[in-house]
Amino acid sequence: MDLHIAVAQIESSNGNIKANLESIKNVVSSVSADLYVFPELFLTGYSVNDLIYRFALAIDSNPIKELQQIASKNRIGIIVGFPEYSDNGDLYYNY
């Protein structure tokens, strides 16, 4: 069995999670692969700096659920970085 991996080295939109989700959808719909890998902090944008707490996401947030739906519908894997809140509201350091 072959595994086709798409590495998407594309620019994200800082603080615009909706636009970044659309970019993910565009890549998934235009490139055939089993696994899609996006850059560090792609979902929120890399340069959110002091606003990281504003854009951090819980693992059960709507954008993450949307990624899960895209992956499930297309029977693919998606690796994407984002700042994540823990269950107790702390920000995980490694994202």
Q: What is the pLDDT of residue 93?
A: 56
**How is residue 21 written in tokens?**
């989700």
Paired with 69 in beta bridges are none
How far apart CA 86 and CA 58 sit, in angstroms, is 7
Domain ranges of the chain: 44-76
Q: What is the pLDDT of residue 45?
A: 87
Straight-line distance from the first to the last Cα atom of the chain, in angstroms, rounded to the nearest whole number: 30
Q: What is the mean pLDDT of each run of 10 residues along the chain (95 residues)?
A: 95 94 97 96 82 84 96 97 83 59
pTM: 0.88
Q: What is the pLDDT of residue 63?
A: 96
